[in-house]
Structures are given as structure tokens and as C-alpha cells.
Amino acid sequence: MRLSERKISSIMKQRGYKLTPQRRAVLKIIMGSDNHLTPEAIYQSVREEHQNIGLTTIYRTINILSELGLICEVHTAGSGRSYLVRRPLEHHHHLVCSGCNRVVDFSNCDLADIERKLSEGTGFKIEEHLLEFVGICPDCQQTAES
Amino acid sequence: MRLSERKISSIMKQRGYKLTPQRRAVLKIIMGSDNHLTPEAIYQSVREEHQNIGLTTIYRTINILSELGLICEVHTAGSGRSYLVRRPLEHHHHLVCSGCNRVVDFSNCDLADIERKLSEGTGFKIEEHLLEFVGICPDCQQTAES
DNA sequence: ACTATAGATGAAAACCTTTATCGTTTGTAC
DNA sequence: GTACAAACGATAAAGGTTTTCATCTATAGT
Ligand SMILES: [Zn+2]
Ligand SMILES: [Zn+2]
Ligand SMILES: [Zn+2]
Ligand SMILES: [Zn+2]
């Protein structure tokens, strides 16, 4: 299942958050991009159409979306945070282009075996895992060659 | 192979860095802990014996150790950085306790299959991966029960 | 429509983490 | 021991994120 603006709107309202024009503008930018975006980048993009919005509102909106599980954070993006809209709702991971920040989602993470062995070997009760791949996308490979 | 203080000392000198008392003190704290430590935590620990050291020196030392590949960074540690000494020198990953920050290293990460499939499916040239597990260690499980 | 209420906004200040600056101190090589 | 480069600590500066607060909606009840 993928997230539509309608669905996001309904989730937010259900949890007591209003879908204001500012939040709609932030959502539009995040949903319209294939790349992961920093708060500053979102700010700059939103500002092109909505020049009065404050950076504070960007952060507030990001934090809400994150709390509701509607956006994904990328961890291999250097210092600082970077987000993109949650495209598959189910458990998944990211393949990130180090050239243009494009993100491809994938769901076939088969870590159950490793997880079980690790758990048996260490006695840890494993709660979550973080898996991300970094590479160069076809477009950026071409750009690099030419 | 594991890193001894002697080995680290030789690597640092070879790369033009002096092993000062301050750096030795930072190393002692990092090497003496099974947990990942934030710069601030390292600062506090080092200060107990070396009360005049500056936070700047902690950061400078961490950055050198990181550049030389002598420490590992943990990515699932919330906001901000956290480090521990690099115990296996070869490629490896971390299992982190969310209770006490203890870290267990493991080397049998078998992501080659996933990586090949991903590469074929997307056309990405994959350069690196990030894999980390989070769980509760046996000690913290007991603490939680009692 | 009018008002009351709760929530959201933007500007500014505060906060926290990390890095740069600079005068002084320390290690190392001769 | 002297000379030199490197490292130190204090402080300031730079980023990035959150708090504060007065103002401004949006919504619901009248
Ligand atoms: Zn995602
Ligand atoms: Zn790319
Ligand atoms: Zn490690
Ligand atoms: Zn633990």
C-alpha cells in the first residue's frame, strides 16, 4: 500500500493534527521528491511557493510526520537528518544514491537467519535492525563517465 | 587481529600524530569500555583523572581516531555521535544494547546475495552498506524482570 | 454570523553539539 | 639545551534544532 495525500490527511486528523496549508505545502514537497531531503532543503523548496513559512514550522511538521511513521529517515546521509515520504507502508529498507540522493525502497530484507544466530550466540533479545545500502544510480554513473 | 595500545600508538606516530598524555587518556577510556560513548561521556570520564582536559581535545582526538579507522561509530544511538574502539580490524557490524549501550561485534554479515539482486534490479553500483542490530543484552533483560 | 477555545504559526531567543581561532605550552629531533 | 612543529585549553563562532510567546486561524457551539 502506498500513502496518498488523502490517507495522510486522514491519519493526521485522526491523531488530532490539523492539515493546515503550511503542512500541506511541506507534504507536497516531500511526496513530490524521489530524494531524501534535509529540513533546510525542504524549507528552501517550500519557500518558493509559500514565502512566509518559518523554518520552525518545517521542523514541527517533520517531527509530527516522523512520530506518525509517515516519513522515513535516511542514516547514511552524512551529518544531520534527511527524510523522504514513506512509500511502502510495510517494513522496508533503502538504497541511496550518493550522487543525487535518490532513494529506492526494497522489502526483501532477509535478516531473520542472521538475527536468530546472533540472538542465540549472544543472549540478546533483538528488537530492531538498521540496513541501508549506498551506491551510484544509473543516471549518476552516466554523468560520471561523460 | 585486535588493537592494542602499542599498535594504535605506532599507527598514530606513523601518520604524524603524537601520542600525548591527553590522547592516551582518551584512548584509555575508549578502549576500556564495552559501550559506545558520546564525546560528552568521554569528556566526563577522562575528566575524572585528567581534570584540566578541554572538550576540544576530546573532539580532536576522536576525529583523528576516526580518520585512522581506529574507532567505530554507532548509528542507532539517537541524535549525536557515539563511538567505541575498533575491536576487529576487518569489516564487521554491531549489535547494540538499548539499555546499557553495550556493543557486540559480529563479522558474518552475508549481504552479498541481497546486494547482487539489488544491483541487478536497480542498476545501482553499490558501494557500501550499513547494518546494525539493536536489542537488550542478558544483563539488562534481568534488570528489567526484577 | 458571533464568540470561545484549542491548536498552529512566525520571529526571536535559547540550546546543544561541533568546529575555528589564537596565544601558550609541550614533545621531539638535532 | 635549543628550535620547531604540533598540540593544548579557553573562548568565540558556527550549525542545527527546540522553546518561548504573542498573534493568528480553524473549528464547534451558540
Ligand atoms: Zn522508506
Ligand atoms: Zn544518482
Ligand atoms: Zn566495531
Ligand atoms: Zn544492556
Q: What is the 3-state secondary structure (H, E, C) of A60-97?
A: HHHHHHHHCCCEEECCCCCCCCCEEECCCCCCCEEEEE
Phi-psi map region of A112: left, alpha, beta (phi>0 left; psi -120 to 50 alpha) = alpha
Nearest to B133 among A115, A133, A141 (CB): A115
* Contact present, A70 and A86 (Cβ < 8 Å): yes
CATH architecture of the domain A5-145 equals Orthogonal Bundle (1.10)
Cβ distance of B136 and A124 shorter than 8 Å: yes
User: Residue B3 — very low, low, confident or very high, per pLDDT cuts 50/70/90?
Assistant: confident
Nearest ligand to the CA of A35 is 2
Would you call A111 helix, strand, or coil by DSSP? Answer: coil
- What's residue B1's pLDDT? 62
Asked which of A50-59, A70-79, B8-17, B68-77 is least confident by mean pLDDT, the reply is B8-17
* Contact present, A31 and A25 (Cβ < 8 Å): no
- What's residue B144's pLDDT? 79
C-alpha cell at A108: 526483501
CB atoms within 10 A of CB B18: 8
pLDDT in tens, B68-114: 999 999 999 988 999 999 999 999 999 999 999 999 999 988 899 89
* Contact present, B12 and B64 (Cβ < 8 Å): yes
Would you call B111 helix, strand, or coil by DSSP? Answer: coil
Closest to A136 in 3D by CA, of A109, A108, A102: A102
Report pTM: 0.92
Q: Quick one: average pLDDT of A6-21?
A: 89
Closest to B3 in 3D by CA, of B82, B98, B68: B68
Measured between beta carbons, which residues in chain A are less than 8 angstroms from residue B104?
118, 122, 124
* Nearest-nucleotide field for A20 (CA, C1'): C8
With vertex at residue A78, the alpha carbon angle to CA A73 and CA A84, rounded to the nearest 5 degrees, is: 25
Domain positions in chain A: 5-145
Sign of CA dihedral A88, A117, B34, B94: negative
